A and B are shown apart, each in its own frame.
Chain A
Amino acid sequence: MAELDTSSGGGKKGGKVRSKKASTRVDLTAMVDLAFLLITFFILTTTLAKPKAMDVAMPDKEEKQTDQLAVAASRSMTLLLGANNKVEWFVGEPGKSQPETVGYGKNGLRETLIEKGKEIQQTTGKFMIVLIKPSDKSDYKNLVDALDEMKITAVQSYAIVDISQPELDLLKRDGNY
């Protein structure tokens, strides 16, 4: 089938012309090799782990001030993202209470968030509001980490806010800037 019979033409010695019986088998080894090579290539180039999308909603800047609710200082927790993967937090207004410095992750920020969340829930009867204020020295990773902690600890209300000067001073004082 796959091979052409080329042995036609007159036989050398007169008499019967015997057609050669050619095998119908084709050697597929090379073809299989090629196919697997291509498979390997495509497996390696496809992205298996699709990147994930973390949705972020920023507060509308043009919203009228009158629409905004004043937030009780006792309910708000501020996270100041500083340099060297450190985060400083305090509850209430800056300067009123002593800020504490923690790291990101399970034993640092997460523990604090859970603890404070419960405490605020108990004392005020309402959920905690977290303000994330990244400083100029913080990395993009810090921001994502902080947002991720919000998701993990199920903080209902949080926002990314620009940092203010007194808060920057706090970071500077504690060597996190």
Chain B
Amino acid sequence: MARVKVPRKSTHIDMTAMCDVAFLLLTFFILTAKPRPQDPIPVDIPSSSVEVAIPDENVLLLTIGDGGKVFYTVDGADVRKQTLLQMGEKYKINFTPEEQNKFMSTTIFGVPIGSLKQFLALDGNDKKNYKQPGIPYDTTATSELSDWIRESRKVNASIKQKPLLISIKGDNKEKYPAVQKLIALLQKQKVNKFSLITSLRTAQKTK
């Protein structure tokens, strides 16, 4: 009688191919990832049927929410640094190279320039938990926010030779007067064209 010999199979699976795929995907996602900038305040943006995506570059974003607090974001670390230098000059504040570097990596902020040094000195969690009061602004052409916008426009024009696209990201529940003030401030600088940031409405259009 011949006994049937069951060959003992190894339980090991060859993981090489799987590993290859996993790392390929990982590389792809790392390279395409652009970390979402954390908003210091929750902003629930309105939806619309507009399908034009916001451009990646040359964008100045003004976030407004939480009762009229305005936060400032500008694209490009070099633009940010130069803007800070020019603002420092204007307001007679000297920023150290260390503070400049920190500012370059700060994507969004909303503090008056007087307490900017103090804000930049914070790190990690302290910065996240810091209650930012928003940049002071009014409809005159000399408010702090107005200066930030003007300086960034100048800097962007000289560094990138392109006009800065100004966009407003507002909270759904924000009352109109705050937005009106912001628009009036932009119009003071002869910015009559800007964009409102919205998300795509999921419901279908009529006819």
- In B154-177, the 8 Å CB interface with A consists of 165, 167, 169-177
Listed A/B pairs (21) with beta-carbon separation below 8 Å: A27-B12, A28-B15, A32-B15, A35-B26, A38-B30, A39-B25, A43-B29, A46-B29, A47-B36, A52-B52, A52-B54, A53-B165, A53-B167, A54-B197, A56-B196, A136-B176, A139-B174, A140-B172, A141-B173, A144-B46, A148-B49
- Chain A's closest residue to B199 (CB) is A51
Distance between Cα atoms of A35 and B55 in the complex (Å): 31
A-side residues, CB < 8 A to B, are: 25, 27-29, 31-32, 35-36, 38-39, 42-43, 45-47, 49-62, 81, 106, 110, 134-145, 147-148, 151-152, 160, 162
Contact of B192 with A59 in the complex, beta carbons under 8 Å? yes
Distance between Cα atoms of A151 and B50 in the complex (Å): 8
**Looking at the complex, which one of B49, B54, B169 makes contact with A151 (CB distance below 8 Å)?**
B49
Contact of B176 with A143 in the complex, beta carbons under 8 Å? yes
Contact of A53 with B52 in the complex, beta carbons under 8 Å? yes
- Give every chain A residue within 8 A of B122 (Cβ-Cβ): none
Query: Nearest 9 CB-CB pairs, A to B?
Result: A28-B15, A42-B29, A35-B22, A53-B195, A148-B48, A140-B174, A53-B54, A141-B172, A144-B46
Main secondary structure of the interface of B (DSSP, over half): mixed
Contact of B175 with A52 in the complex, beta carbons under 8 Å? no
Distance between Cα atoms of A58 and B194 in the complex (Å): 8
Contact of A52 with B51 in the complex, beta carbons under 8 Å? yes
- Chain A's closest residue to B177 (CB) is A136
- Give every chain B residue within 8 A of A136 (Cβ-Cβ): 175-177
Instruction: Map CB proximity to A onto B26-55 as digits: 1 under 8 Å, 0 otherwise.
Output: 100110111110000000011011111111
